[in-house]
Amino acid sequence: MNIDSLLNDSEVVGREQDIKKIVNLLISSSNRHVISVLPIVGMAGIGKTTLAKLVYNNELIKQHFDVLAWVNVGKNFDVEGILREILKPHREDLGDLEYDEVIEICAEILGAKKYLLILDDVQNEDPKKWDTLKDYLLEFNSNAGNNIVITTCSDNVGQIMKIHPPHHLEKLSKDNCWSIMKKRTFIDGRIPLTLDLEVIGREIAKRCGGVPLAARLLGGTMCFKFDKNKWLEIQNNKIWDLLDEDNSDIFPVLKLCFDHLPTPSLKRCFAYCAIFPKDYDMKKDEVIQYWMAEGFLLAKEANMEIEDIGNMYFNILLATSFFQNARKDAYGNIISCKMHDLVHDFALSISKFETLILEGDSMDDGSSIQHLFARLDGKTTLGSSFSGVDFTKLRTLISENFNFDIMLSNFKCLRVLKLSGDRIKELSDSIEQLIHLRLLHISHYFIEELPKSITKLYNLQTLRIERFLGELPEDLSNLINLRHIHINNCWDNVIETPKNMGRLTCLQTLQFFSVGPDEGYRIKELGCLKNLKGEIIIRNLGYVKDEEEAKRAKLKEKEIFNLGLSWSSRQRHMYDEDEKVLEGLQPHPNLKSLTINFYGGKKFPSWVGLSSLYHNLIEIKLRYCRECKEVPTLGQLPCLRVLEMERMEKVRCIGSEFYFYSDGSYRNTTTLFPALRILKLVGMETLEEWKDAKELTTTDEVLFVFPCLEELSIGWCNKLRYLPDSLHTCVSLQKLVVWHCHELSSLPGVRSLQKLVVEDCPNLMSLPGVGSIIRRGIEDPPNGLQCVIYSENGDFRLPSTSSIHPSLQKLQLFRFGDLLLDQIQYFIALKILWIEESYEMVALPEWFGNLSSLQELYLLRCWELVHLPTEEAMRRLTQLKTLIIYDCPEFEDNELIKISHVPWVQINDRERPRCLDFEDED
């Protein structure tokens, strides 16, 4: 069953007026509060989060607010946690930040910006905690127009936090419930919609009580019922008699849908997921491997792997809405999901005697507990929490921040062990006593070495290690039942492959393999792993002697969709040998992503870019292939979306070979690179010419090139003078980044362009949508250009004109002359202006007062700058909220009187300022 159409949990059914009302309230010009709070209040399952998501993703909202942030709050209203969540989209290394640093960066992100903050599922009724958060937010930003939307089941919470009257979310109509059910039930035409089924379905929809979650659950359950009698069984089920008068209790619906799950083992798999905390992002492969370790998955047919059963169960739980919020990776694979809080409560209710989620407390009796999730502060030891507790039935232990100082002999029946946190420095040798262990998951910063005793866990099926920088035990090949080895960050951290990996014939997941010169480390070890699939990086390919040895890896037979092939930058290359080796490493036709690093051949083998074979290929990255003299033929790959070529330093010309094969097979197509979205050329130092495909054809037929291209990045191509004409007519191009291209004289000027970054291109005499407009007075400029970053581009000259750019909102200028500065006055939509290293500017011109839309002004390292425009001109900048002057030593303090009306001002602060609007464009 194709469940893609069921993955959108934000269905707009019966909520159109709610969305319109809330959006209008949030963007209303009458909103004069510094922080306005709007509670969305309603019963569990009524769709509060869904409604908040629809508002959050509304285009009017995105245009109105500078910063959007979403935080799932839950039971614990943790102010520090909320602030850290606000930072997540902007910073990756949050774990290393002290609280003071978190506050400082939040002030930077939210200061002088108009923001919308969604606080989802707020349960806190303590006004002091809300006051603490509010005080921080007011400290960060004192401007009017900021909004917070909270979702809550509690009227009390709404009253504590409200400024606007609460928006009470009403139940859906019976017709709306039937609409939701129908969409989920009659997916893909699997069940024909007969009159009889519609009559029964509408009767069942009445039992939903106007709750969309109930409608989704019932619709998902009924899509597996092909018989009218099965539908009648649901309609006439006695469980409906347990409903309240207003049908507000959704548990009977959950119980009904649970009872109709097709197999007992699937029910056990669902109940097991109660072990994960609420709002936990459940990784699909991880959950399936946990089920497998517990023994819940049994293959029904000889040709089915137990992982296939797990995948089927996962998809059924998604289709029936027991799971929701599915996320996909770049290749279209579902990688994770969540459970609705009500569904989680139900799962916990049916496994409450077996499952315990423990956060910060100790326990007295564990005799009935089979699955334990324990999250502590890292100070409490396992021994002090559980001394004397009987754990003989414990099968799964997931712990966060335990100080693991107790003998593991207490857990001899354990099947699943997950340890995470940064408090533990080593793993005890006594782990060998866990002889029944089938899954070991370690996520630690500081464990540098795994104990050798781990190689005695002979029943181990899955080994997952995150943030690990050490070496794997040499005798890992003893664990012949291993099916999955997950090691994170395999590109970044070179981990040597243990000896004789070919003995692990059950292995399906191996994310890296480092080839060695000695027996037991050669590439033929991969050939024995017949079930290998998914993704793998193969390193040190210089140790592979020839094509025949490469073929012994049998990559053609393995369903690997993400393949990385890497030679060593330190090994001596023989180009003819590298070419033969790469020929022998031809992958499976299901390939979706290919990365090749440090390849020493002069050309690529014919299989790279073979459109008749690799019709699923989405992404190609060719890096440091320094001996290559020509690029591969890629123009006819039907699904290629991302192409990056970096440091191919001997390519002088991109010609016909880039677009089509020498046999003239292009005549069968009218479109080249039909799906390409992102194209990057970096470090092509000898590239002089990039030919246009249309010039290379003899056919009179219309030929479309790059019809979907959205992002083009070209850097360090010092000899490239012109870009192909097809880029000048590319109607989809939105982002153009060019840097260190000293001979480049023109760029494509297309109406669709939104972001432009230009750095150190001294021969460039005009900017598309900026310079070209002013130079030629074009009346119909690109109407979407919003951001320009321009740096050190020689004698760039723009004659004065009255042409006005309609949409440019962000402009960053480095090391430029006064003539270019004068042109800024024509960009009347400008909101953010960054000027850096203007060596001669003594004063900002008077016309600055005409930039009526300007909200943020940054002046950095303008060493001669003394004066701002007059006070009258500065006060015309009524929208100006931020003015930052940095490292301008001549700037006079008496100028401050001119900017007393600006809310956020920094003058020559010690720390260099940041502007996230431009950091995203680099």
224 pLDDT tier (thresholds 50, 70, 90): confident
| Burial classification of residue 311, based on how many CB atoms lie within 10 Å of its CB (0-12 exposed, 13-18 middle, 19 or more buried) | middle
Residues near 175 by beta carbon (within 8 Å), at least 6 away in sequence: none
> Among 372, 367, 263, which residue's Cα sits nearest to residue 312?
263
48-81 burial string, b = 16+ CB within 10 Å, else e? bbbbbbbbbebeebeebbbbebbbbbbeebebee
pLDDT at 859: 95
Q: Where are the beta strands (DSSP E) in 745-855?
A: 755-759, 787-791, 810-814, 832-836
DSSP codes joined into one string, 199-266: HHHHHHHHTTTT-HHHHHHHHHHHTT--SHHHHHHHHT-GGGGGS-TT----HHHHHHHHHTSS-HHH
Question: Which phi and psi angles does 87 have, rounded to 5°?
Answer: -80, -20
CB 76 within 8 A of CB 125: no
CB 460 within 8 A of CB 481: yes
Say how many Å lie between the first and final Cα of the chain, rounded. 42
pLDDT at 156: 86
The gap from C-alpha 570 to its chain's centroid, in whole angstroms, comes to: 33
pLDDT at 700: 63
CB 431 within 8 A of CB 408: yes
Question: Position of tokens 């030629």?
Answer: 776
CB 668 within 8 A of CB 700: no
Written out in words, the top-level CATH class of the domain with range 771-919 is alpha beta
Q: How far apart are CA 593 and CA 821, in angstroms?
A: 44
Lowest mean pLDDT among 276-280, 431-435, 714-718, 756-760: 756-760
Q: Where are the beta strands (DSSP E) in 79-205?
A: 115-122, 146-152, 167-168
Higher-pLDDT residue of 770 and 488 is: 488
Residue by residue, what is the 3-state secondary structure of 73-101?
Answer: EECCCCHHHHHHHHHCCCCCCHHHCCHHH
With a cut of 70, say whether residue 136 has pLDDT above it.
Answer: yes
803 pLDDT tier (thresholds 50, 70, 90): very low
What average pLDDT score do residues 7-31 get? 83
Lowest mean pLDDT among 487-491, 607-611, 840-844: 487-491
CA-based torsion, 268, 274, 276, 280: positive or negative: positive
| Burial classification of residue 500, based on how many CB atoms lie within 10 Å of its CB (0-12 exposed, 13-18 middle, 19 or more buried) | middle
pLDDT at 797: 44
pLDDT at 819: 60
Neighbours of 293 (CB within 10 A): 25
872 pLDDT tier (thresholds 50, 70, 90): very high
pLDDT at 916: 74
pLDDT at 772: 36
What average pLDDT score do residues 244-254 get? 75
* Domain ranges for the chain: 16-168, 172-255, 264-342, 771-919
pLDDT at 11: 66
> Among 276, 265, 379, which residue's Cα sits nearest to residue 317?
265
The gap from C-alpha 433 to its chain's centroid, in whole angstroms, comes to: 39
pTM listed for this prediction: 0.88
With a cut of 60, say whether residue 776 has pLDDT above it.
Answer: no
With a cut of 50, say whether residue 628 has pLDDT above it.
Answer: yes
Written out in words, the top-level CATH class of the domain with range 172-255 is mainly alpha
Question: Which phi and psi angles does 297 have, rounded to 5°?
Answer: -105, 125
DSSP annotation of 381 reads B
Q: How far apart are CA 97 and CA 99, in angstroms?
A: 6
Query: Residue 89 to residues 114, 150, 339, 916, 920: CA-CA distances in angstroms?
Result: 17, 20, 22, 11, 11
Please state, rounded to an integer, the average pLDDT across all residues of the chain: 85
> Among 218, 193, 194, 223, which residue's Cα sits nearest to residue 205?
218
Could you tell me which CATH number the domain at 16-168 has?
3.40.50.300
Kindly state the tokens that stand for 48. Answer: 């509060």
397 sits in which H/E element:
strand 396-400
Q: How far apart are CA 760 and CA 257, in angstroms?
A: 63
Beta-carbon-side half-sphere exposure of residue 300 (alpha carbons within 13 Å): 7
Residue by residue, what is the 3-state secondary structure of 825-877?
Answer: HHCCCCCEEEEECCCCCCECCHHHHHCCCCCEEEEECCCCCCECCCHHHHHCC
DSSP codes joined into one string, 744-813: -------TT--EEEEES-TT----TTTHHHHHHT-SS--TT--EEEEE--SS----------SS--EEEE
- The model's pLDDT over 812-825, given as tens digits with 9 standing for 90+, comes to 888 876 666 777 88
Q: In what order do the strands lie in the sheet with 334-338?
A: 282-283, 334-338, 324-328
Q: How are beta strands 324-328 and 689-690 bridged, if at all? A: unpaired
SS3 271: helix
CB 142 within 8 A of CB 34: yes
Query: Residue 288 to residues 254, 416, 466: CA-CA distances in angstroms?
Result: 22, 12, 18
DSSP annotation of 479 reads -
% of the chain exceeding 70 in pLDDT: 85
Q: How far apart are CA 889 and CA 863, in angstroms?
A: 6
pLDDT at 489: 60
With a cut of 90, say whether residue 57 has pLDDT above it.
Answer: yes
- The model's pLDDT over 823-869, given as tens digits with 9 standing for 90+, comes to 788 788 899 999 998 878 899 999 999 999 999 999 999 999 999 99
CB 661 within 8 A of CB 633: yes
CB 740 within 8 A of CB 760: yes
CB 394 within 8 A of CB 413: yes
What average pLDDT score do residues 586-603 get? 95
| CATH fold for the domain made of 264-342 | Arc Repressor Mutant, subunit A (1.10.10)
